[in-house]
């Protein structure tokens, strides 16, 4: 679907929603638990690409979901962003990607966490 020097994007083989894309950084990052402050700019570029794809496919980014599964609830030990647009296949499927669940972290939450960590480092 899309590939550049930093990331690859493709449709999920088992879509949970009308549109379900995975965006994977080429740099190996195991999971949200191993993301470093230095990954912040890459994550911003991944977010921009996700929003662009959603708009291109006719989805409202404000009602779409962008996020990651948190170990041990992830299935692959390589960070991959779930980009979900449109209606979900079922209510049960939707729960797998809900904000505030112990197994799922929205991209926006991860970016805030990295901003806070960077601020602590800069002020210490």
Using alpha carbons only, give the angle 7, 11, 14 rounded to the nearest 5 degrees.
Answer: 130
Is 82 among the residues known to form the active site?
A: no
Among residues 20, 59, 69, 80, the one annotated as catalytic is 80
DSSP string, 20-41: EEEEEESS----TTT--GGGHH
**Residues 6+ positions from 72 with CB-CB distance below 8 Å:** none
Which amino acids are annotated catalytic? Answer: 80
């Amino acid at each position: 679907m899309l590939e550049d020097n930093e990331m690859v994007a493709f449709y999920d083989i088992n879509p949970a929603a009308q549109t379900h894309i995975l965006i994977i950084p080429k740099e190996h990052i195991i999971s949200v638990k191993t993301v470093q402050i230095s990954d912040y700019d890459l994550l911003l570029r991944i977010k921009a690409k996700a929003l662009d794809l959603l708009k291109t496919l006719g989805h409202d980014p404000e009602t779409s979901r962008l996020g990651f599964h948190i170990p041990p609830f992830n299935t692959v030990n390589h960070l991959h962003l779930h980009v979900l647009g449109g209606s979900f296949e079922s209510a049960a499927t939707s729960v797998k990607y809900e904000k505030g669940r112990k197994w799922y972290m929205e991209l926006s939450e991860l970016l805030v966490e990295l901003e806070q960590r960077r601020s602590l480092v800069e002020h210490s």
